[in-house]
Amino acid sequence: MNKIINLFKQYSNTDDVLKLVYGIPSSEHFDCVFVAPVWSVEDIFDSSKIKSQFLFKGGLESIAHKIEVNGKKYLHIKLNIGAPNIIDFCLACSELNCDKFVFIGSAGSLVPEIKIGDFIIPEYSISGEGASLYLYEKLDPSNMYKKAYANSELNQEIRNICEKQNIKTINAVPISMDSIMCEYQHLSEFKEMGANVIEMETSAFFNAMNAIGKPASAILVISDNSSVGQHLIDSGEDTRKKYHAARTCVQDILLNI
């Protein structure tokens, strides 16, 4: 892993990759980093309950905010969707003064029993995205579809927080893939691999964070269910309300980490 970071430093002529690309000095301390493709600060947090400071908007469409509440300091960064964006940010955090990283986002269910609004805290994700291949010393397609693990201690900490707040969590198995358009012709294959949830980034997140030795976990809210024909894009008002009601609970989980 040092080879990846050192080569980037060499070619970009910088000693602080995170500051160069994302405008965040690696020396600054955070109690936890929230990595959120699509979900902005306003999507998650009630501005009357937190102090939020805009830090940086990067050329990669990343938007970073510092959040201060109850004596703790958090970093929220909104990134573009897709595994490559996640991996680049995670690797840039190799020297960041923070020991907890949580991915937050939505996912689709592949089975009827996992419903819209359910909370998923996965033990691992299946790497169906190609970006993780570049973390290996040599490119090898046989590394596709391997399990990428979350940090078990951080997972348990988040489950304990959810339990205290009467939020039910499910240990489902996501598969991360690269194309929303193409996923539907492979749904049966994904389920044969053991996946019952689908999204785009968690395997890359876990793989990259493990590569730099930082504890990482993920909180996913189910937004749609292909097995019963419920799709967020064309769903009715009741379906959207279930999803957004669940998302409003995420703030109370995150601010207790």
Check which CATH number belongs to the domain holding 29 and give it. 3.40.50.1580
pLDDT number for residue 244 = 76
Task: Note the pLDDT of residue 163.
Answer: 96
Distance CA 73, CA 132 (A): 30
Tokens 């405008």 -> residue = 23
Q: Which domain holds residue 182?
A: 2-254
pLDDT, mean of each 10-residue run, the chain (257 residues): 86 90 93 95 87 81 91 95 96 96 96 95 98 96 97 98 95 96 94 97 98 97 84 62 82 95
CB atoms within 10 A of CB 119: 20
pLDDT (0 to 100) of residue 230:
65
Q: How many domains does the chain have?
A: 1
Q: Rounded to two decimals, what is the model's pTM?
A: 0.94
Give per-residue burial for 27-48: e unless 16+ CB within 10 Å, then b: eeebbbbbbbbebebeebbeee
pLDDT value of position 1: 60
Residue-level pLDDT at 232 = 55
> What pLDDT sits at residue 237?
67
- Give DSSP secondary structure letters for 150-189: PPHHHHHHHHHHHHHTT--EE---EEEES-TTTGGGGHHH
- Of 162, 178, 170, nearest in space to 196 by CA: 170
What gap in Å lies between CA 209 and CA 88, rounded to an integer? 11
